[in-house]
Structure 1
Amino acid sequence: MSSRHPIIIVTGANGGVGYGICQRLLLNLCGDVPEDALPQPEATPGAYQPCDYIPWTKLTLIMACRSAQRAGEARNNLLQFLDEHIAERKRQNSPFSKEMDEFRKNLTIDILLLDLASSQSTLKFCREVSQRYPYISHAIYNAGYAPWNGIDWPLAIWAVLKSIKNAVTYPQYQRQLTGVLSKDQYGLTFQSNVLGHFFITRALKPLMDKSPWPTRVVWTSSLETTYALKYANWDDPQLITCIKPYSMCKFQTQLVAHYLDLESPRTRHFVTHPGVTSTGIFLDQLNIFTSFAMLLAFYIARLLGSVHHPISWINGAIAATHVSLVALPLLNVRKKLVVYGSRATLWGKAYVGGNEMDNYSQYADKAKNLVSYCDELYETQKRRFTEQRS
């Protein structure tokens, strides 16, 4: 058996959409029917082309998480999930039984600690990856931090009365903390969502360049970017004074990812978002009754025609796994910034849609400046990390 096989990093893999991404990767790479590698009419139209990674009989999945305990529980659940799937497919007399058994035998799921809000933790993670693995074929940047600080209930009620579909698709009534700093004294939202992943990209470039295939880096954006530019202050790249730092950091993510895609000769950078899902990222602001009301509102929005409510974790993960597995020629060319989003039909069938950012050229200089700024911070922290080791 060839040693060539996908080696995939997923940040924030122990819960929510990150866990759903891991589930979908296992389902698609285990030798069964690779649905996520098929063309998507609204995102990657065209005739089917074989995927480099499918069918395969080996996978190394790196779960990059802050909590070893939660990651360990998630890994056990993933293995049980895969075992149950394989058993069910065998009961259905799948022609891929042999491949699935071999995949399961050769599957490695590793847990590496990563706190994106700490430069030292991030660089330590990168050092460990560099020491343990010969290359990286995929990096899926799902982890992040949202600085929620409650809900403006009068505004929320008014938004629902005007349009429940828009209210739960493009909400503007969440209060967000401003001025929150990390232990590095960087803007916490900026570092956790943008800068930390940028550090990984720079530090692991040698491993990405060694991949048998062009490495794919998948960045996670959000529908929150719809109104982000209302709060833009380009003189505050760390978003310390921004009143909607989460919304703006997801717009920064799009700019950084596309700039790096244009810059990288061999590594491709793509932007996805999970749509609206019932993850725990906002549930701390709700009680049992309002949580149920929120979930009900999601289904009502879908009933009213919203395609942006996949709702479940595993459905919200489809955009990231599709971009990771579909034949590369079907994805956007480098000169275009396309955001691939997870969507769902009225009956809950997940699919992928794509929206091109037509006005990227207006922000090309902003993207360049932001990447240069991130590079300065990276070099500073890398130097400190090296000095501490010596």
Structure 2
Amino acid sequence: MSFNKTNILVTGANGGLGLGICLRLIDDFLKSRNATDTLNIIYTTRSTRKGTDTLKTLQAHLHRYHPSSQHNRATFQAENVELTKLLSVRDLARKLNSSELPQLDAIICNAGIGGWVGLDWFTAIPAILLDIRNNTVWPTFKLGTIGALTKPQLPEGSLADPEPPLGEVFCANLFGHYMLVHWLMPLLRACDDGTPGKIIWVSSLEPQSHHFNRDDLQGLRTDAPYEHGKRLTDILALTSTRSATEKAVASFTSVEGTKSEQAARSVPRQHVYHPGVVVTSVISLYWILQQAYLLGIYLARWVGSPWSNVEPYTAAHGATWLALASEEEIQQAEADAHPAAAAKACKVKWGTTVNRAGRSTVRPTEVDKWGITGSGESFASTWWGGSSGLGRKPGAVEAKAEDVEEFVALGAEVWEEMEELRRDWERRIEESEGNGGA
């Protein structure tokens, strides 16, 4: 009889989607795995108090929905991290790497901020009345901040060079995770080659090619830093298996120079998922406006929007499926997403869809200039939403081969730039430590 323990790290679990992912992991794991298999959820929040609140919620859920004979199959480990503070990220990585964890089977990079200050209601109301199904899914009326920066990362005077700016939304949503994942690579690469670790990037349904400015990697000059960063997330994840990005990805996943170098058994796989439209506190609204927004998303579902998940637990389906499915299952699903291009072994952006009754399904998502699988071949005839284009952005154009080539070339460029940024910050942190600052 085998006893397998699965360790999954979920960031941003104090509420919203992160908490929904943790709750759904409990349910999906206990009903799908052998009775001797166990699950350890390592979840992060920004404070001990929030971590304690999450622990109470997870334990209450486990005891309410599962028999006592199953309770010892799920354990929970609270950790604190502030993803806009690289020293906090480093401290968490050091703690986990030096712990008794044998490996990390998956990291779900969920935590983040919106960077919005509200909604343009004068634009939102007529847009929603005109087309509630699509304008609640791909809104154009969110108001974002421009140029928000993190607080200084390192103690004053600990560096010879001035500290470069670091975008707050960029760091919270992507770069903080990027550093965390790299620093936790010893645990990810400790997984068996047959069951490699997984890096699950949480993206959004919204980002389009126009949201990303190649000359502004951190999105400091845009009023849509959230969408900019999520587009960058898509580019990184979807091109991670292409030959053009191989060198940079190998650098990112390297454990060279660490004590775990000889123990590396596999290279983790990277996946990207989005939760559709889910109502959380990521955008701050007055209570009455929040209720109006909630009603609008429900109405959009009732008139046929497949992406209007509303509830975090429902929206979490795609993340938990990626975390718990075998790599063979995921590869088969990628092949099934576009049968004509199956032989090309391309990456898919997965999303959670829902029907009017609230039943969720995991579906492929069309990505601007990438298509479904990045094959450059037409998929409209086999699109899961049918000939009406249900689930596709109005006006979406299928990606051609030249679009995908440009997408991959952009991926190679930004992978290199992200690695340069990572190495630069690692150098600065080491220098600060050497000067007694970090």
Provide the TM-score with structure 2 as the length reference.
Answer: 0.76
Q: Residue 83 of structure 1 aligns with which residue? A: 63
Q: Residue 418 of structure 2 aligns with which residue? A: 374
- The one-letter amino acid paired with 1:217 is I
CA distance in 1, matches of 2:72, 2:44: 22
CA distance in 2, matches of 1:281, 1:354: 24
Q: Residue 356 of structure 2 aligns with which residue? A: 346
1:116 and 2:96 aligned = no
Instruction: Give 3-state SS (helix, strand or coil) of 2:139's partner.
Output: coil
Per the TM alignment, residue 112 of structure 1 is displaced from its structure 2 partner at its CA by 1.4
CA distance in 2, matches of 1:112, 1:223: 29
Per the TM alignment, residue 266 of structure 1 is displaced from its structure 2 partner at its CA by 2.8
CA distance in 2, matches of 1:243, 1:206: 37
Cα deviation digits, residues 261-300 of structure 1 (max 9, x gap): 4446731111111111111111x2x222221111111111
Per the TM alignment, residue 229 of structure 1 is displaced from its structure 2 partner at its CA by 2.2
- Aligned residue pairs total 353
1:292 and 2:291 aligned = yes
Per the TM alignment, residue 56 of structure 1 is displaced from its structure 2 partner at its CA by 4.5
1:257 and 2:237 aligned = yes
Instruction: Give 3-state SS (helix, strand or coil) of 2:308's partner.
Output: coil
Q: Residue 363 of structure 1 aligns with which residue? A: 407
Distance 1:105 1:139, change over 3 A: same
Q: Residue 53 of structure 2 aligns with which residue? A: 73
CA distance in 1, matches of 2:231, 2:25: 26
1:278 and 2:288 aligned = no
Q: Residue 202 of structure 2 aligns with which residue? A: 220
Distance 1:387 1:112, change over 3 A: farther
Q: Is the 8 A contact 1:11 1:63 kept in 2?
A: yes
Instruction: Give 3-state SS (helix, strand or coil) of 2:107's partner.
Output: strand
Q: Residue 347 of structure 2 aligns with which residue? A: 337
Distance 1:261 1:60, change over 3 A: farther
CA distance in 1, matches of 2:175, 2:373: 22
Q: Residue 17 of structure 1 aligns with which residue? A: 17
Q: Is the 8 A contact 1:261 1:270 kept in 2?
A: no
Q: Residue 48 of structure 1 aligns with which residue? A: none
Instruction: Give 3-state SS (helix, strand or coil) of 2:123's partner.
Output: helix
Q: Residue 323 of structure 2 aligns with which residue? A: 324
Instruction: Give 3-state SS (helix, strand or coil) of 2:102's partner.
Output: coil
Distance 1:187 1:253, change over 3 A: same
- The one-letter amino acid paired with 2:97 is S
Instruction: Give 3-state SS (helix, strand or coil) of 2:361's partner.
Output: strand
Distance 1:56 1:315, change over 3 A: farther
- Looking at both structures, which has the greater relative contact order when contacts are Cα pairs under 8 Å and sequence separation is at least 6? 1
Per the TM alignment, residue 203 of structure 1 is displaced from its structure 2 partner at its CA by 1.3
- The one-letter amino acid paired with 1:171 is P
CA distance in 1, matches of 2:326, 2:34: 10
Distance 1:72 1:222, change over 3 A: same
Cα deviation digits, residues 138-183 of structure 1 (max 9, x gap): 1011111110112112211221132111121111100000110112
Per the TM alignment, residue 383 of structure 1 is displaced from its structure 2 partner at its CA by 2.7
1:235 and 2:215 aligned = yes
Distance 1:254 1:54, change over 3 A: farther
1:28 and 2:8 aligned = no
CA distance in 2, matches of 1:161, 1:85: 39
- Of 117, 121, 128, which residue of structure 2 is paired with 1:160? 128
Distance 1:106 1:353, change over 3 A: closer
Structure 2 unaligned spans of 5+: 154-164, 251-265, 336-343, 366-371, 375-398
Q: Residue 90 of structure 1 aligns with which residue? A: none
1:301 and 2:306 aligned = no
Cα deviation digits, residues 37-81 of structure 1 (max 9, x gap): xxxxxxxxxxxxxxxx65543222111221221111111110111
- The one-letter amino acid paired with 1:85 is Y
Distance 1:140 1:54, change over 3 A: farther
Percent sequence identity is: 28
Distance 1:14 1:170, change over 3 A: same
Q: Residue 389 of structure 2 aligns with which residue? A: none
1:267 and 2:249 aligned = no
Instruction: Give 3-state SS (helix, strand or coil) of 1:6's partner.
Output: strand
- Structure 1 segment 166-185 matched on structure 2, within 5 A: 166-183=134-151, 184=153, 185=165
CA distance in 1, matches of 2:356, 2:36: 33
Distance 1:56 1:141, change over 3 A: farther
Q: Is the 8 A contact 2:29 2:324 kept in 1?
A: no
Q: Residue 136 of structure 1 aligns with which residue? A: 104
CA distance in 1, matches of 2:418, 2:92: 18
- Of 209, 212, 215, which residue of structure 1 is paired with 2:189? 209
Instruction: Give 3-state SS (helix, strand or coil) of 1:180's partner.
Output: coil
Provide the TM-score with structure 1 as the length reference.
Answer: 0.85
CA distance in 2, matches of 1:56, 1:6: 11
